[in-house]
Amino acid sequence: MYFENELGKVYYEVYGRADAPAIMFLHGINMNHETFKNQAEALQEKYRVIIWDLPYHGKSSPIDDKLLFSETTADIVNELLDHLKIKKVVLAGLSLGSYVTQIAAFKYPEKVKATIHIGCGPLHPPVPSLIKIANPLIGLFIKLYPRKAFLKPLPTTGP
């Protein structure tokens, strides 16, 4: 499914019952919604699970280059939750997704029940100097990385 706003469109999938506690997974750079497909399938009996493609990734469109990627994506998280009529959510972010998770929790604390961070450093407080330097480079990397690489299928494992 797609959610569209004035910035573009993002692809998402929802698993589980609408009345179950919600968890949203946010992937890292050079990944897409498929990163958490196994988790979505495993958790759908007890949770409403949302997996999606961040802007520039998978089936989602890019956003305006003048916008800050992580902050704008956190706003999209908020809008997608509204669209899905989710009042409270657990956000689980991997790498870049963890930065977006932290910003979303900071900007929209009334909607974020808890956060899970997989492979990431803190943004608030304090912001390490290395993160201050690396943050603008993340957007540049995403912009310069070949779009075809974001769209290639991920290898499957298991039965």
Please tell me what DSSP assigns to residue 18.
T
CATH number for the domain formed by residue range(s) 8-151: 3.40.50.1820
SS3 13: strand
157 pLDDT above the threshold of 90: no
Q: What is the pLDDT of residue 125?
A: 53
- Write down the domain spans for the chain: 8-151
pTM of the complete model: 0.77
Say which residues have a Cβ less than 8 Å from residue 118's Cβ, sequence separation at least 6: 92, 93, 94, 95, 97, 98
5 pLDDT above the threshold of 60: yes
Dump pLDDT digits (tens) for 116-147: 999 765 555 555 566 566 666 766 776 676 65
Q: Indicate the pLDDT class of residue 30, thresholds 50, 70 and 90.
A: confident
For residues 41 and 13, the answer to whether their CB atoms sit within 8 Å is no
Q: What is the pLDDT of residue 126?
A: 56
Name the most confidently modeled range: 23-32, 75-84, 112-121: 75-84
Q: Indicate the pLDDT class of residue 98, thresholds 50, 70 and 90.
A: very high
